[in-house]
Amino acid sequence: MRVRAAARALAAAGALLGCAAAPLARAADGDGWSLDPAGSARPSLYAEGAPGAVLEDKVSVTNRSARPRTVTLRGTGPDGIGAWLAFARRKVTVPPRTRADVPFTVAVPKGAAPGDRSGAVVARGGGRDARVPLRLRVAGPALAALTVERVRLDADAERITYELVNRGTTVLAPRVAVRADGVFGELLDRAPHRVPVRVAPGSRVALSEPWPGVPSFDAVDVRLTVTAAGGVRAEGSASARLVPWPAAAGAGAGAVAAGVAAWCAVRHAVRRRRRDAGAPAETAATAEAAAEATAAAETAAEAEAAAEREPTATGTGGKP
């Protein structure tokens, strides 16, 4: 009885296996190949190492069809991560109903910044692609650092140009605030906003901020404040002396230029004294305005006297 029961059970199991194998055999007659991480049933590949390390893993190409299948392997990913991958064989021919395990390495560059990266191993064959995701973690301390450099006011183009340099080891998404002050106070105050790029470690990015309505006659100080995740805060500044030289050309042009220079010198001297003395804002502003008014009056008088003494001069030019 027991032998007959066991025989019936084996026959039933054989029938079930035959039913399960039938669809696989039919699928194998078509384009039946796949790409997977080698070994256990992993959904993706993972590697971790310090800069300069060479990491190893394998992928499996399984051919379930009744004819040989040839596939070509490659690595892919942003920031050139695909070039970090090297395969023992880039082109693999797998016999029917066979699996081929292909070793590959991930060579982490010595200058790679710490952090997580994503890529994939891609196999192409039979007119289609199959891919296995790859997650790579580069070990090391994360350092967020940024500098603001080459700030310049281009008055003709009505733009403030500058460069951001990532001095750290993490990718940064900066925000920038813009402030500009003239002789008589604030000219531009733009709230922090995100710049249109992400700055990779070690990279330099050239950016600009529009400024419609740049004054044609003023002494302007521009200050950029840049912030980013990780406690990043950096500042950059520039000064520009805006003079409408074509309009100023004529009698007493030299005296006007001298007056402008004196006016700028007095302005900065007053600001320097205010900073050194630490005077309250309102008092300092009043003193500065009075000093600048006095300087302007003296400059005008000197220009008028010079115009009476000197012959008429002409010239052309533009904003510096």
Q: What is the pLDDT of residue 169?
A: 79
Q: Which amino acid is at 272?
A: R
What is the average pLDDT value for the chain, to the nearest integer?
A: 78
Task: Determine the structural domain holding residue 163 and report its residue range.
Answer: 141-241
Rounded distance, CA 80 to CA 314, Å? 58
Write the CATH number for 80.
2.60.40.10
Q: What is the pLDDT of residue 78?
A: 82
Over residues 264-308, the pLDDT tens digits come to 665 556 555 555 555 444 444 445 555 555 555 455 455 455 444
Give 64: exposed, middle or buried? Use CB within 10 Å, 0-12, 13-18, 19+.
Answer: buried
| Same-domain check for residues 134 and 32 | yes
Give the three-state DSSP class for 43.
coil
Q: What is the pLDDT of residue 141?
A: 83
Over residues 234-258, the pLDDT tens digits come to 999 999 999 886 655 554 555 555 5
CA neighbor of 46 nearest in space, from 130, 60, 55, 34:
55
Q: How confident is the model at residue 15 (pLDDT cuts 50, 70, 90)?
A: very low
> Is 6 inside any structural domain?
no
> Is 305 inside any structural domain?
yes
| Same-domain check for residues 236 and 248 | no
| Same-domain check for residues 134 and 33 | yes
Least confident segment among 11-20, 137-146, 216-225, 259-268: 11-20
Q: What is the pLDDT of residue 8?
A: 41
210-220 burial: b if 16+ Cβ within 10 Å, else e: ebeebbeebbb
- Residues 6 or more apart from 182 whose CB is under 8 A from it? 215, 218, 219, 220
| Same-domain check for residues 236 and 289 | no
> Is 254 inside any structural domain?
yes
Q: What is the mean pLDDT of residues 22-32?
A: 42
- Residues 6 or more apart from 110 whose CB is under 8 A from it? 51, 52
pLDDT of 180 > 80? The answer is yes
Rounded distance, CA 141 to CA 89, Å? 35
Least confident segment among 24-33, 151-160, 199-208: 24-33
Angle at 123 between CA 119 and CA 128, to 5 degrees: 115
| Same-domain check for residues 91 and 194 | no
| Same-domain check for residues 66 and 110 | yes
Q: What is the pLDDT of residue 143?
A: 86
Residue whose entry in the numeric block shows the structure tokens 């039946």:
32
Over residues 95-126, the pLDDT tens digits come to 999 999 999 999 999 888 788 888 999 999 98
For the chain, how far is it from start to end, CA to CA, in angstroms? 108
| Same-domain check for residues 71 and 44 | yes
Q: What is the pLDDT of residue 112?
A: 84
Q: How confident is the model at residue 23 (pLDDT cuts 50, 70, 90)?
A: very low
Q: What is the pLDDT of residue 93?
A: 96
Q: How confident is the model at residue 154 (pLDDT cuts 50, 70, 90)?
A: very high
Q: How many domains does the chain have?
A: 3
Angle at 162 between CA 160 and CA 166, to 5 degrees: 155
Q: Tell me the pTM.
A: 0.49
Which strand (E) or helix (H) includes residue 260? helix 253-277
Residue whose entry in the numeric block shows the structure tokens 């007095």:
266
> Is 14 inside any structural domain?
no
Q: Is the pLDDT higher at 13 or at 222?
A: 222
| Same-domain check for residues 248 and 302 | yes
Final residue in a domain of this structure, among 194, 212, 241: 241
Final residue in a domain of this structure, among 107, 138, 169: 138
CA neighbor of 113 nearest in space, from 87, 135, 139:
139
| Same-domain check for residues 270 and 226 | no
Q: Is the pLDDT higher at 101 or at 78?
A: 101
pLDDT of 37 > 80? The answer is yes
